[in-house]
Structure 1
């Protein structure tokens, strides 16, 4: 028995289609597709969420030096005029160095994030900013399902599609 459905496509096309559907599911929270595709996407999504839930709190605190631009009381950057060796003048922002405690991923969590990144396309919002679906998975979705063992998604049957009669379903997070 094969590991996954072929879905009538070549391997590269099938993987690209599933990657797009998984990305859409994690971006929007639900997708409408055929039953066979939904079952495959559900399989992938459940594994990704289980991986993220397992690594949910697997971070350590680390002291990090952070260089930030100094601001005056009005919130404007403080700049100094500096002359280079060849006599040209330019402006440089004054900076201050702070030490902050920052959460850092442990190696197993980092590995889990890299595995999840393989299943997501880069997606941009309406303003053109890139949305990190991996961050959304590990920071928003995984903590929500922390106390649940499996069953993170559900499939609703909508009915046959008008053109070819394929069974259409809605796949969404529980």
Structure 2
């Protein structure tokens, strides 16, 4: 008996399909798929959320003084003449940085092995590169999803059957984060 469902695909196709669907489930909160795929997605997604819950508070906040160049109203750097040369003027700013502990870094790398990066495109500039931003799903797991499930001992996803698909009568389900 196999430890997983093969889903009628080669190993590389199956891995890519599951990575894509797990990424979309964690980003959007719910997706519609077949029952067999949902059961495989559930295993991976619950493992990711459990890792995020375990490591959510495993960081130190460090405050540092940093030099930042002054900018004028147009966003250009302010220059000053000293000893006949133009020199950029700097301000001292207090900046707090999250320093992750090694176990949290390891968990982040394990998540990034399985998750794809998502590029958000605003609706006003659809089809153009300008204004797009990449979303780190691992950070979303640590910052948004893990605190929501901190007091829960598992069972982070729910599978709801919605009926057979019209084309091939495969059982369709909605898998969502509880």
TM bucket (normalised to shorter chain) is: 0.7 to 0.9
Judge conservation of contact 1:66–1:99 (CA < 8 Å) in 2. yes
- In structure 2, how many angstroms separate the alpha carbons of the residues matched to 1:173 and 1:19? 16
- Gaps (5+ residues) in structure 1? 83-88
Indicate which of 159, 168, 172 corresponds to 1:168.
Answer: 172
Decide whether aligned partners of structure 1 residues 155 and 75 sit closer, same or farther in structure 2, where only a CA change above 3 A counts. same
- Within the candidate set 107, 113, 118, 2:102 is matched to 107
Taking the aligned partners of 1:16 and 1:56, their CA distance within structure 2 comes to 27
Match of 2:129 in 1: none
Number of residues of Structure 1 aligned to a counterpart in Structure 2: 168
How many Å separate the matches in 1 of 2:43 and 2:37? 10
Q: CA, structure 1 residues 81+69, in 2 after alignment: closer, same or farther (shift >3 Å)?
A: closer
Corresponding residue of 1:14:
14
Q: Does 1:79 align with 2:78?
A: yes
Residue deviations 1:100-132 (CA, integer Å, cap 9, x gap):
332211000010011111121111112321111
Give the alignment's Cα RMSD to 1 decimal. 2.4
TM (norm. structure 1) is 0.86
Q: TM-score, normalised by structure 2?
A: 0.85
Matching residue of 2:53: 53
Aligned to 2:126: none
**Separation of aligned partners in 1, 2:89 and 2:6:** 59
